[in-house]
Structure 1
Amino acid sequence: MSAKRPKASRSVKAGLVFPVGRICRYMKAQNLAKRVSIRAAVYLTAVLEYMTAEMLEVSGITARANKKQRITSRHIRLALEDDELLGKIFDRTIVPHGGVRPFIEPALLVNKTR
């Protein structure tokens, strides 16, 4: 008799880290449609994983530029401001403890033409 191998999860089959089964369950709970395809859940999970990885990568670069070892919510906020695509997607997003948008009134800047 051969020993039973444990079933591979849908996340492992799709090559993803985020849980496909949980995303599928959430999609079904939202009553988006009468039926939800597993392919739709895999696609949404892949998009969420990519967006998270991209945001963490840019935030890590921002933290390193500020000579810090850890990514804080301020680094996430600054990264969202710096990246053009992420800035458009997360334009109206509030990052808790992220601080304010960096802005200096142009009238306060030193005029170098004098």
Structure 2
Amino acid sequence: MVGRGKVLSSAQKATRSSKPRLQFPVGRISRFLKVGKHAQRVGAGDPVYLAAEVLELVGNAARDNTKTRIVPRHTQSAMRNDDELTKLLGAVTIANGGVMPNIHKKTGAKDES
């Protein structure tokens, strides 16, 4: 006991996101990888790597748009522009992510002939 009946709290456990100094939730990514039918077993470093990879791509997308803050639109564009993430997270919906621009071949620019 210290002071007026207060107990010193022991050192708090460092989260898996705080150890590699990531802002993305490593625990949530790990849980979703385990629940999903991606693999029978998920290693300890897999969700950390995936979170770091996603954070890097999203940060690059934000920087390409000359923004300093990451918004869901940057997450959506980074995921849909990367082939591997699109394959892994193709059915995932990002809230407030918008849609990717797509121009169909028939309605595109007309040839001048």
Query: Under TM normalisation by the shorter chain, which class is it?
Result: 0.5 to 0.7
Q: Percent identity?
A: 28
| Paired letter, 2:97 | G
> Normalized against structure 2, the TM-score is what?
0.60
| Paired letter, 2:59 | G
Report the structure, 1 or 2, having the larger helix content: 1
Aligned to 1:74: 73
For residues 1-114 of structure 1, the aligned pairs below 5 Å read 17=20, 43=43, 45-112=44-111, 114=113
| Paired letter, 1:67 | T
Cα distance per residue 1:34-69 (max 9 Å; x no partner): xxxxxx78x2x3111111110110111111111111
Cα offset for 1:74? 0.5
State the distance in 1 between where 2:70 and 2:111 align: 36
| C-alpha distance 87-10 of structure 1, shift in aligned 2 (>3 A) | same
> Normalized against structure 1, the TM-score is what?
0.60
The answer for unaligned runs of 5 or more in structure 1 is 1-5, 31-39
State the distance in 2 between where 1:81 and 1:57 align: 14
| Paired letter, 1:51 | L
The answer for unaligned runs of 5 or more in structure 2 is 1-9, 36-40
| C-alpha distance 10-66 of structure 1, shift in aligned 2 (>3 A) | closer
Q: CA RMSD in A?
A: 3.5
State the distance in 2 between where 1:65 and 1:10 align: 32
**What is the SS of the residue equivalent to 1:60?**
helix
Displacement over 6 Å in runs of 4+: 9-12
Cα offset for 1:11? 7.3
| Paired letter, 1:59 | V
